Amino acid sequence: MSKSSFYVGIDVGSKELVAVVEGRKSRSFKHSRAGIKSMVNWAKKITPITPLHFCLEATGVYGYSLACSLHHDHHMAVSVINPAQIASYAKAQLRRTKTDSVDSKVILSFAQSQNPPLWKPESKTRRQLYYLVAETDRIGKALGQWNNRKHSQKYLDDLPKLIKQTNRALERAMRRQLAKIEQAITELCRKDGDLKQEVELLCSIPGISDRSAVRILAFGKNALRDYGRNALTAHAGLAPSQRQSGTSIRGKSRIAKQGDRRLRQALFMPALAAAYHNPILKTFYQKLLENGKPKMLALVAVMRKLLLMIQAILKNKITFNPKYSLDN
């Protein structure tokens, strides 16, 4: 337990919150406004003087909703922890039982030993950008599946005409909605001054288009501005993972991939373009190839370098300069 704060571990469910503090049994609360208020009041009674610090796993919309409520409505310190960290920590403790009560205790123990950083919610505009971009991905994926289905149906001679008509109507509807959402993204970026400036800054980097810039900002979130270089690389799943021990184990180096897959995907095509058109990254890429690195490994290194270049440009609010080096 930190000297300056009193940790509360929370296992988050869609209908129930299981909270625990050191020296007390875990307690369940309803996952509702009233239930969250009761949980906060319960914790305050236990430690009326020491500030509270609530810790939970990143469990999608349920965890995000709880974190926002604790931060905005109750003005509490909150940490949102990567579930992979909690799972690894539980294994290290040789935990064999998994219940909501046990999970909340593991989260509490992790928080007490690791002192996780405070979580900060994004602005309403940033959240809307994320929702809109994520929705375009979902509709785009659905359209791809629909086209595959339509292709296979060409070989069915006895397919009823009604099915063909229905397929065409649904595809047109999805394309119309996709166009509306993309227009909404454009309007959002145009009206918000900070967002507009950041898109323009990223588009100054050779290899990044308007669409790529928006996707990187949507999925990079606050990490692009708040995280350190190593933390940001790990957040995107681009940190190298080596497997080597003595002389007997010499595995190939790979990327960890224990990060945000969508941010990594958003960087792939810009990095591919930058490897041939960005003067800094082109030189970097060619040097890796000359040193015998496989193309894909070299491209991953370009993705990592591009991500750090994006962070530097956003933090300093300067356009791309071919004479600038991240190593300076």
Q: Are residues 170 and 236 in the same domain?
A: no
pLDDT for position 249? 45
pLDDT for position 226? 87
pTM of the model: 0.82
pLDDT for position 254? 56
For residue 232, the enclosing domain spans 228-316
Element (H, E) at 49: none
Instruction: Single out the residue in 114, 145, 163 at which a domain terminates.
Output: 114
**Is 287 within a domain?**
yes
**Is 211 within a domain?**
no
**Is 15 within a domain?**
yes
CA distance 322 to 301: 18
Total structural domains within the chain:
3
Q: Are residues 260 and 311 in the same domain?
A: yes
**Is 259 within a domain?**
yes
In tens, the pLDDT along 9-23 reads 999 999 999 999 988
Which of the 8 DSSP states describes residue 14? S
HSE, CB side, 13 Å, CA atoms: give it for residue 98.
4
Task: Classify residue 324 as exposed, middle or buried by CB count within 10 Å of its CB (0-12, 13-18, 19+).
Answer: middle
pLDDT for position 252? 56
Q: Are residues 95 and 130 in the same domain?
A: no
Ranges of residues in the chain with a pLDDT under 50 are 1-2, 242, 245, 248-251, 328
State the CATH number of the domain containing residue 67. 3.30.420.40
Q: Are residues 304 and 250 in the same domain?
A: yes
Q: Are residues 19 and 106 in the same domain?
A: yes
**Is 154 within a domain?**
yes
CB distance 314 to 225 below 8 Å: yes
In tens, the pLDDT along 39-80 reads 999 999 998 888 999 999 988 889 999 999 999 999 999 999
pLDDT for position 257? 60
**Is 207 within a domain?**
no
Q: Which two three-digit tokens encode residue 82?
A: 């990567």
Task: Determine the angle formed by the axes of helices 295-316 and 261-277, rounding to 10 degrees.
Answer: 100
pLDDT for position 50? 87
pLDDT for position 245? 47
